[in-house]
Amino acid sequence: MADASYLPHEFQYSSARHQAETAIAGMWLFLATEMLFFGALFLSWIYSRHWNQAGFDAGAQQTNLTIGTVNTAILLASSFVYSAGLAFIEIGNKRRLIQCCAVAWMLGFAFLILKFGVEWHGDFHKHLFPGSHFAITGPLSGGAQLFFIFYFVGTALHGLHMIGGLILVGWIILRARRDEFSPGYYTPVAAVGLYWSFVDVVWIVLYPLIYLVGRGP
Amino acid sequence: MTRRLRQLLLAWILLMVLLAIEFGASFIPLGRSARPLVLIPAILMVAAVGTLFMQIGREIAVVRLFAAAGLLWLSILLGLGSLDPLTRTDYHVQAANPK
Amino acid sequence: MSAVVVEAGAVEGSYLTDGVTLRSWLLTTDHKRIALLYLGSITLFFFVGGTAAALIRYNLITPQGMIASAETYNRLFTVHGVVMVWFFLIPAVPVTLGNFIVPLMLGARDLAFPKLNLASWYLFVVAGVVVLCSLFAGGADTGWTFYTPLSSSYARGHVVLTVVGIFIAGFSSIATGLNFIVTIHRLRAPGMTWYRMPVFLWSLYATSVILVLATPVLAMTLLLLGFERIFGIGVFDPALGGDPLLFQHLFWFYSHPAVYVMILPGFGVISEIIPAFSRKRIFGYKFIVWCSVAIAVISFLVWGHHMFVAGTALYSALVFSILSYMVAVPSAIKVFNWIGTMHKGFILFDAPMLYALGFIGLFTIGGLTGLFLAALGADVHLTQTYFVVAHFHYVMVGGMVSAFFAGLHYWWPKITGRIYPEMWGRAGALIIFIGFNLTFFPQFILGYLGMPRRYHSYPPEFEVLNVLSSAGATILAAGYLLPLAYLTWSLFRGERASANPWRATGLEWMTPSPPPTVNFVSTPVVTEGPYAYPAPEIVQHHG
């Protein structure tokens, strides 16, 4: 950060830099907690697939690989664009920051539309929500339903985190438009960027667990 | 400035390449039990995002401590948590009323 | 330590008088006020959980059960467990004593994230309201452990509502832990290196590591349980090929480290009190602090010892048994360190010290009986009996609650600016010690003889021991009500406290009692290690 000795800071900090670094450290620690949160879901994937491999994979083969893969590409682009926005405000280009945040936001929104508007809609239509009218019957039914429990819980939780991310990115855009960020102060932009990239990381792990492992020869 | 943008662009290209590799690898005949190996490119993508987008290498040391702790504890959860399924004797029972 | 101007008994300009409106309390970001908000909340929950305990012991006076319904009894022990675990034991020391003392002990003006701190209290209150709603609606009957498939498929009662409350409380825990970790890393006073921090801070750091890494797993576990309860099927459902044992793994992955969340702050409190009341620096400082870290780490590796008879492989059980023996070692080292501190010290028997001495004895008994349970062969006989109940009450109540009271009395002058009446304090400590042992020692014997836990009635041959236990519970209850009375009295009539009434070391004693809002008028500079008590010979000369 540029020399920030003139910048304000909270009374328990010794300088603005001290506070900024601490805020970023706090965000990373929060992300570590999220690793454990989703980690518990991954353990349930391991157990469910271990005890019911054939059925579990049969369920996975019903997922929409096209939408899943396109969505992964969308999120990677969104993370890239937001990081570019952060790079722009580090040198003081507020206009580019706002543009990048807006593009990142729209890509994230597109992800949600594809995921919940199109893909989930299709899943329900194909009777893939576990329960009494589940599409797959017979000995593979239990395992397939276990897969879709993981699928719906995982994508719902990821989606909720995405919605939180969209709110945060939107908040950054509003603050940027009010001229609150500069090369001397962009901590919230960086912190939200970390969160946004992390939500991307969660999806990067969910994608093969949902769309790839159960498929293939 | 353009150096950082170029770095980000290369990172994104790398991620797309890894995604393509992962997608392609899923067509390799691996056998049901080995299918999770398809996650290897995903792990590399996570590392790329963490280092190139999130720039973990440029943060203060305590940040790397937090991230490492998260990863270590995640491996304890998944690793030691897998000990039971790997060692338990499964006395298979036919479901009386399959749903 | 550098000299900071202190004024004996000054109340004007303290954090208590800095704003007198309700709004200034409910919207405060001052860690000291938030600590008091929490203190009020957890005291309330302690008495809710305690009432449930009283009803449990009342029921067990006769073999057929004084309360006719087994279902009601199940709901009682469930509410007792849920409230005591999540709304008293886990928060108690960190959110009250921790929130108040951590910044003071560090030489900081507040925690790293004061607004997050306030948010954590509101989350706690909302969580508590949800659980109380669940209680008044009839509660749940699954036990605080919510094992599947009972909780997921068969239980009557308000499982989802209870679980939502606990879920929200989890976020409060994570927020507190995150705040402490970042604060301890980043807001230490100039000159305070890690090895100059008092043990209490290391203990809270270790506690916070567990809070931030274990609680998220509980959150997901409860979500999955809620899903299964709401939709009728889930990952724990055997009808689908799901694994009910997965729930136990996920639950205990959190809940075992959680018991160390409960006890580690207690260790920290005792580690402050023993040196102060032995007038001697702590014995083996580096051992104690690294043992706290070791406990935090190893605690994550032992959860399978709750599942020895659940159907896991013997190999898996062996691994967890060995690891459980390993986790006991650092705790034992601490006990030796405390005793080593007292050795050749100048012992003062004020109330905090009486509670601390009680802690050492009762915790040691509880800890050793944990090792009995960690032995596979013994556990087959003792599991699900009153032996387990006695074990964890010895560590949690005999240990942790005693430590909480020890710390409360020790830092009471700092927090309130008042001295509590010392003789009543000592009486309370003694009554609690006697009542506690009378309540819970018979339960070791009952467990060994085979009385199962969580049963509302029992075979008649166990009656005498149960009556003894219930009699002890009335004494224990009196012991807990006594501090409520005299501590409240001291708020209005207690003698005003000086900055350092115990003549203890630590930065928190270098500022007035009660402290000003900013804690320190000028940032202290630390030049020596903690517990810099003069050598005992010098103290003897002064009598």
What is the tens place of the pLDDT at every residue in C379-417? 999 999 999 999 999 999 999 999 999 999 999 999 999
State pLDDT tens for residues B25-75. 999 988 888 899 999 999 999 999 999 999 999 999 999 999 999 999 999
CA A32 from centre of chain: 14
- Cβ-count burial of C528 within 10 angstroms (0-12 exposed, 13-18 middle, 19+ buried)? exposed
Residue type at A42?
Answer: F
Q: What is the C-alpha separation between C371 and C378, in angstroms, rounded?
A: 10
- Report yes or no: B11 at the A interface, CB cutoff 8 Å: yes
By Cβ distance, the residue of B73, B76, B99 closest to C240 is B99
Which residue, chain included where needed, has tokens 């023996």?
A: C325
Q: How confident is the model at residue A9 (pLDDT cuts 50, 70, 90)?
A: confident
Q: How confident is the model at residue B1 (pLDDT cuts 50, 70, 90)?
A: low
- From C237, which residue of chain B is nearest by alpha-carbon distance? B99
Q: What is the C-alpha separation between C502 and C508, in angstroms, rounded?
A: 12
- Report yes or no: C301 at the B interface, CB cutoff 8 Å: yes
- Cβ-count burial of A157 within 10 angstroms (0-12 exposed, 13-18 middle, 19+ buried)? middle
Contacts of B93 (CB under 8 A, 6+ apart): none
> In sequence order, what are the beta bridge partners of C452?
C385
Sequence length of chain C is 543
Instruction: Identify the residue among C152, C167, C174, C246 best suited for mutation to test binding to A, counting A beta carbons within 10 A and taking the highest.
Output: C246
Q: What is the C-alpha separation between C474 and C467, in angstroms, rounded?
A: 11
CA distances from C83 to C182, C188, C282, C395 (A): 28, 34, 35, 17
Task: Give the SS3 label for residue C383.
Answer: coil
- Report yes or no: C175 at the A interface, CB cutoff 8 Å: no
What is the signed CA dihedral for A182, A186, A192, A197, rounded to 10 degrees?
90
C147: left (phi over 0), alpha (psi -120 to 50) or beta: beta
Both ends of chain B: CA-CA distance in Å? 60
Both ends of chain C: CA-CA distance in Å? 25
Q: Which residues of C touch B88 (CB under 8 A)?
A: 311-313, 316
Cis peptide bond N-terminal to C149, omega within 30: yes
Q: Is the pLDDT of residue C271 over 50?
A: yes
- CA neighbor of C201 nearest in space, from C316, C288, C307, C330: C288
Give the DSSP letter of residue A185. Answer: B
Complex-level ipTM = 0.95
Q: Is the pLDDT of residue C8 over 50?
A: no
- Report yes or no: C304 at the B interface, CB cutoff 8 Å: yes
Q: Which two tokens stand for residue A10?
A: 């909270």
Neighbours of chain B (3+ CB pairs under 8 A): A, C
Q: Are A28 and B58 in contact (CB under 8 A)?
A: no
CA distances from B8 to A97, B11, B49, C345 (A): 15, 5, 10, 63
Q: What is the C-alpha separation between C197 and C200, in angstroms, rounded?
A: 8
Contacts of C423 (CB under 8 A, 6+ apart): none
- CA neighbor of C520 nearest in space, from A12, A14, A18, A5: A12
Q: Which two tokens stand for residue C135?
A: 């209680």
Mean pLDDT of C124-145: 96
Buried b (16+ CB within 10 A) or exposed e, A32-64: bbbbbbbbbbbbbbbbbbbbbeebbbbbbebbb
User: Between B and C, how many residue pairs show a Cβ–Cβ distance under 8 A?
Assistant: 40
Q: Are C121 and C173 in contact (CB under 8 A)?
A: no
Determine which of A197-211, B21-35, C461-475 has the lowest per-residue pLDDT on average: B21-35
CA distances from C160 to C222, C397, C513 (A): 9, 28, 45
Q: Is the pLDDT of residue C5 over 60?
A: no
- Report yes or no: B45 at the A interface, CB cutoff 8 Å: yes
- From A54, which residue of chain B is nearest by alpha-carbon distance? B32
Neighbours of A121 (CB within 10 A): 11
Q: How confident is the model at residue C536 (pLDDT cuts 50, 70, 90)?
A: low
By Cβ distance, the residue of C182, C221, C223 closest to A26 is C182
Neighbours of chain A (3+ CB pairs under 8 A): B, C
- From A51, which residue of chain C is nearest by alpha-carbon distance? C241
State pLDDT tens for residues A49-91. 999 999 999 999 999 999 999 999 999 999 999 999 999 999 9
* Nearest-CA distance A58 → chain C (Å): 14
Neighbours of A8 (CB within 10 A): 9
Q: Which residues of B touch A30 (CB under 8 A)?
A: none
Residues of chain B contacting C, Cβ within 8 Å? 62, 69-70, 73, 76-77, 80-81, 83-85, 87-89, 95, 97-99
The tally of CA atoms less than 13 A away on the side-chain side of residue A182 is 8
Give the DSSP letter of residue C529. Answer: -
Q: What is the C-alpha separation between C85 and C45, in angstroms, rounded?
A: 10
Q: How confident is the model at residue C7 (pLDDT cuts 50, 70, 90)?
A: very low
pLDDT of residue C13: 82
CA C195 from centre of chain: 25
DSSP C472-515: HHHHHHHHHHHHHHHHHHHHHHSPBP-S-TT---SGGGGS-SSP
User: Between A and B, how many residue pairs show a Cβ–Cβ distance under 8 A?
Assistant: 144
Q: How confident is the model at residue C1 (pLDDT cuts 50, 70, 90)?
A: very low
User: Do C315 and B87 count as a contact with CB atoms less than 8 A apart?
Assistant: yes
User: Do A18 and C518 count as a contact with CB atoms less than 8 A apart?
Assistant: no
Mean per-residue pLDDT of chain C: 94
Q: What is the C-alpha separation between C446 and C459, in angstroms, rounded?
A: 11
Phi, psi of C290 (to 5 degrees): -75, -25
> In sequence order, what are the beta bridge partners of C496?
C418
Contacts of C424 (CB under 8 A, 6+ apart): C482, C486
Q: What is the C-alpha separation between C481 and A49, in angstroms, rounded?
A: 53
Residue type at C287?
Answer: F
Contacts of C35 (CB under 8 A, 6+ apart): C95, C96, C97, C98, C99, C100, C415
Phi, psi of C508 (to 5 degrees): -65, -25
Q: Is the pLDDT of residue A168 over 90?
A: yes
Vertex A6 angle, CA A5 and A11, to 5°: 80
State pLDDT tens for residues C229-256. 999 989 999 989 999 999 999 999 999 9
Q: What is the C-alpha separation between C310 and C380, in angstroms, rounded?
A: 10
pLDDT of residue C9: 43
Q: How confident is the model at residue A159 (pLDDT cuts 50, 70, 90)?
A: very high
State pLDDT tens for residues C19-53. 889 999 999 999 999 999 999 999 999 999 999 99
Q: How confident is the model at residue C284 (pLDDT cuts 50, 70, 90)?
A: very high
Q: What is the C-alpha separation between C104 and C36, in angstroms, rounded?
A: 15
Q: How confident is the model at residue B13 (pLDDT cuts 50, 70, 90)?
A: very high
Q: What is the C-alpha separation between C207 and C260, in angstroms, rounded?
A: 7
- From A48, which residue of chain C is nearest by alpha-carbon distance? C242
pLDDT of residue C534: 81
**Domains located in chain C, CATH noted:** 28-542 (1.20.210.10)
Buried b (16+ CB within 10 A) or exposed e, B2-22: eebeeebeebbeebbebbeeb
User: Do B74 and A36 count as a contact with CB atoms less than 8 A apart?
Assistant: yes
User: Do A21 and C186 count as a contact with CB atoms less than 8 A apart?
Assistant: yes
Q: What is the C-alpha separation between C29 and C14, in angstroms, rounded?
A: 15
Residue type at C466?
Answer: N
Q: How confident is the model at residue C345 (pLDDT cuts 50, 70, 90)?
A: very high
Q: Which residues of C touch A141 (CB under 8 A)?
A: 240
- Report yes or no: B66 at the A interface, CB cutoff 8 Å: yes
User: Do C312 and B62 count as a contact with CB atoms less than 8 A apart?
Assistant: no
> Which of C 197-226 lie inside 8 A of A, CB atoms?
212-217, 219-221, 223-224
- Report yes or no: A135 at the C interface, CB cutoff 8 Å: no
Q: How confident is the model at residue A216 (pLDDT cuts 50, 70, 90)?
A: confident
Q: How confident is the model at residue A5 (pLDDT cuts 50, 70, 90)?
A: low
pLDDT of residue C6: 45
Buried b (16+ CB within 10 A) or exposed e, C401-420: bbbbbbbbbbbbbbbbbbbb
**Domains located in chain A, CATH noted:** 36-212 (1.20.120.80)
**Percent of the residues in chain C that have a pLDDT greater than 70, as a whole number:** 96
By Cβ distance, the residue of A43, A80, A139 closest to B77 is A43
Q: How confident is the model at residue B2 (pLDDT cuts 50, 70, 90)?
A: confident
Q: Is the pLDDT of residue C542 over 70?
A: no
DSSP C318-333: HHHHHHHHHHHHHHHH
Q: Which two tokens stand for residue C419?
A: 């001295």
Phi, psi of C479 (to 5 degrees): -60, -35
> In sequence order, what are the beta bridge partners of C140?
C157
Buried b (16+ CB within 10 A) or exposed e, C490-505: beeebeebbbbbbebb
Cis peptide bond N-terminal to C483, omega within 30: no
pLDDT of residue B91: 80
Task: Give the SS3 label for residue A215.
Answer: coil
Instruction: Identify the residue among A9, A10, A12 best suited for mutation to test binding to C, counting C beta carbons within 10 A and taking the highest.
Output: A12
User: Do B97 and C239 count as a contact with CB atoms less than 8 A apart?
Assistant: yes
